[in-house]
Amino acid sequence: MKHDSYKAFIIQKAQELGFFHVGFSSAVFLEEEAPRLDAWLKQNYHGKMAYMSNHFDKRLDPRLLEPGTKTIISFLLNYYPEQTQKDPEAPKIAKYAYGQDYHYVIKDKLKDLLFALREQIGDIQGRAFVDSAPVMDKVWAKKAGLGWMGKNTNLIHPKNGSFFFIAELFVDLEISPDGPIKDYCGTCTRCIDACPTDALATPYVIDATKCISYLTIELKDADLPSEFKGKMENWAFGCDICQDVCPWNRFSKLQQEAAFEAHPEFLNLGADEWEALSKESFQKLFGKSAIKRTKFEGIQRNIQFLKKHN
């Protein structure tokens, strides 16, 4: 039995909660993605992110991850900020980490949505995912027609660019899927040309071991690899280069989520203040931010590497 009558309700409720796009896809085995993921892992493009090679089967089949799942509902939540860091010489932080940690903000919204769905429908099974389980977020969002996968491996929406978070609800309702849209990257190679570490040497494939986001966040080594001396372009947490240069991001709209507003003290931090940042100040500024993922020691490592090798 199809439950398409609930589609409009889900979309309306999602928009009330701040999501700006919602799409639906059928919970099936990702046949096309399986050989791509296998090849990517065999090339060791995931580096020291061991979790990427775990749960291979569950990553490709949502019904193994959450039995009974029939539909994946994908959501996009904008994070494009109105203001950016004031000091152009300060270590750079990726825009997605300006405000409160998105994992918690979005999880709360999806719990509210699931509660509203159960009130409307009855006892349905559902589980929310926010970048925290073996779920191929971008693939499901692409299947649901929420954008195409760009050459920089980010999902790109034709009216909103790519500065957004992706999340999912796995539900045991059968809802008609939305079809994918076409790829509009065309002959453009701006993201590939702009990447200072050649992480995008192969279009549509990212070598995470060369990606500044991986190096500054995921890599836990005592120091960053010497081959990246002079190539980090002052990024201390994450990197927005391949998004900043993407022509589709001229359509990015300012985000409306209060929780994603940057701490004003953070935006005003100068280069010297970053270097002198104490553990207590770090905790005060970033205790609720995704930046805490690197811990104080990780940010210090990155800043010292930039200071020595920029």
Mean pLDDT of the chain: 95
| Residues involved in catalysis | 131
CB atoms within 10 A of CB 240: 20
DSSP assignment of 237-263 equals E---HHHHT-GGGGG------GGGSPP
User: Between the CA atoms of 77, 24, 49 and 65, what dihedral angle is there, to the nearest 10 degrees?
Assistant: 130
User: Between the CA atoms of 170, 174, 175 and 181, what dihedral angle is there, to the nearest 10 degrees?
Assistant: 70
Between the two ends of the chain, the Cα-to-Cα distance in Å is 60
Residue 122: pLDDT band (50, 70, 90) is confident
Residue 263: pLDDT band (50, 70, 90) is confident
In this prediction, what percent of the chain has a pLDDT beyond 90?
A: 92
Averaged pLDDT, 185-198: 98
* Residue count of the chain: 310
Helix residue ranges, H only, 157-216: 190-194, 212-213
59 and 161 Cβ atoms separated by less than 8 Å? no
22 three-state secondary structure: strand
Res. 1: pLDDT tops 80 = no
In the chain, the DSSP E strands lie at 21-26, 71-78, 92-93, 126-129, 148-149, 155-156, 164-171, 235-237
pLDDT at 4: 86
Averaged pLDDT, 148-154: 98
